[in-house]
Amino acid sequence: MSEMKENKMGTMSVGKLLISMSLPMMISMIVQAMYNIVDSIFVSRIHEDALTAVSMAFPLQSLCIALGAGMGVGVNALLSRSLGAKDQKMVNKSAMNGIFLTLVNYILFLLIGLTLVKPFYMIQTDSQDIINYGTQYLSVVCCFSFGMFFQFIFERLLQSTGRTFQTMITQTTGAIINIILDPIFIFGLFGVKAYGVRGAAIATVIGQIVAAIFALIMNLKVNKEIQFSLKEFKPDLHIIGLIYKVGFPSIIMQSIGSLMVFCLNKILIVFTSTAVAVFGVYFKLQSFVFMPVFGLNNGIIPIIAYNYGAEKKKRMLDTVKCALLVAFSIMTVGSIVFISIPDKLLSMFDASENMLTMGMVALRTIAIHFPVAAICIVLGSTFQALGNAIYSMFVSIARQIVVLIPVAYFLSQLGNVNYVWWCFPIAEVMSLSITLIFFFRMKKMVIDPIPN
């Protein structure tokens, strides 16, 4: 076997590398956030109940994303470490087993889309309009989720070898297609039938399918560091175990996010369905702040993992420091915007007077925790890159299940929905404390022993 060449993740200056790896991902994530917001803006023009229904879909959508993205994190970290260690056989096996697991994930969500969507809404609300809107939307999203799942895995394979520019192209293409098709399928433009809420879902899955096809083509054309071979492939339980060692905690973390949103929706709807709509709008808006940081993380995970495999300690730590600075800056700007002009943000969603009044308090209160969250997110990704994703999982469970939901419930008993929003800053302070403890422990045990 010929010797593998040194990847740019082991040679390029850290600052330049972080920009080249993360900036395309950050741009594509901003575009993703934009089409998520545009989706809800169009849906809000149908009816506030339609917006509430799409907001209530988030827990199941998030679970779908958790399986795809979490498994992708595992493949990303394992493949990047294998590149750093110059193990071509492990690189190829990581990629092919990741594709196999993607197919399994889709089959699971196809079954969910066919059987569980309506019951999912019925346990959240007794409003028939919300149930009908939600069933129309979520059934399409789940049954045609193969586009999203394969987009995830093919983009993670590109990221693993440092080709984040190609990932930006695929994500941006899918998002732009979604944005263009949204009004066409929702309102029935250019002779197309008006599908209403279902049209938003149709536009979404078409964008995901096109992005998945583009990502596959990019891998076959330019990703020469991975050798794809269906002929020689068979599922490898050892490789699958290694993938999920890193990926499973990430899946649990995002799944816990689904449970958190589900529980919070149940708490908020006791006040009014408008409170659920406000929470849904907040989640769409905050993606504009959080998505660039997640894009940054998608860039730093393979950098840290590669240099861990290559035993380059200084490059690992420099990457973490640079990422913390960038993430903190982004989140601080986001916090200032949310606090300064919440009325302008909410007005994009055709907010009623009641929704506007409630939403302004919500956005200003929740946004306080953004800069703190930046630190937790970057260090959590460091845990994943170094194969200690269990730390991230523990922090996520503590934040969202042990603290956030109980605090939200306690505050709701005070009889004012405005108190409930404080559960986010309270939970984030706890999250930061635990994250720092874990980071310094991991630095001492995993990073410091590396000789150079």
How does pLDDT run across 349-374, given as a tens digit for each residue? 888 889 999 999 999 999 999 999 99
Q: Identify which has the larger pLDDT, 226 or 139.
A: 139
Mean pLDDT of the region 318-338: 92
Q: What pLDDT, on the 0 to 100 scale, is given for residue 11?
A: 63
Mean pLDDT of the region 112-139: 92
pTM of the model: 0.75
> Rounded mean pLDDT of the chain?
86
Backbone angles phi, psi at 451, to 5 degrees: -65, -30
Highest mean pLDDT among 146-150, 258-262, 307-311: 146-150
Find the helix or strand (DSSP H, E) in which 214 lies. helix 197-222
Q: Which residue has the tokens 């999250």?
A: 431
Highest mean pLDDT among 99-113, 211-225, 309-323: 99-113
Per-residue pLDDT at 277 exceeds 50: yes
Percent of the chain with pLDDT strictly greater than 70: 96
Per-residue pLDDT at 44 exceeds 90: no
Mean pLDDT of the region 189-211: 92
Q: What pLDDT, on the 0 to 100 scale, is given for residue 232?
A: 67
Helix (H, G, I), strand (E, B) or coil at 229: coil
Mean pLDDT of the region 167-184: 88
Q: Identify which has the larger pLDDT, 209 or 306.
A: 209
**Cα separation of 427 and 413, whole Å?**
18
Q: What pLDDT, on the 0 to 100 scale, is given for residue 110?
A: 95
Sequence-distant (≥ 6) Cβ neighbours of residue 266 within 8 angstroms: 124
Rg (CA), the chain: 21
Q: What pLDDT, on the 0 to 100 scale, is given for residue 452?
A: 66
Q: What pLDDT, on the 0 to 100 scale, is given for residue 1?
A: 40
Query: 246: exposed, middle or buried (C-beta count within 10 Å: 0-12, 13-18, 19+)?
Result: buried
Q: Are 234 and 99 in contact (CB under 8 A)?
A: no
Q: Are 247 and 72 in contact (CB under 8 A)?
A: yes
pLDDT confidence of 9, banded at 50, 70, 90? low
Helix (H, G, I), strand (E, B) or coil at 157: helix
Mean pLDDT of the region 26-40: 75
**Cα separation of 374 and 420, whole Å?**
22
pLDDT confidence of 196, banded at 50, 70, 90? very high
Side-chain-side CA neighbours of residue 383 (13 Å): 29
Q: Give 202-225 pLDDT, tens digit per residue.
A: 999 999 999 999 999 988 888 877
Per-residue pLDDT at 378 exceeds 80: yes
| Count of residues making up the chain | 452
Backbone angles phi, psi at 322, to 5 degrees: -60, -45
Instruction: List the one residue out of 159, 173, 172, 267 whose CA is nearest residue 222.
Output: 159
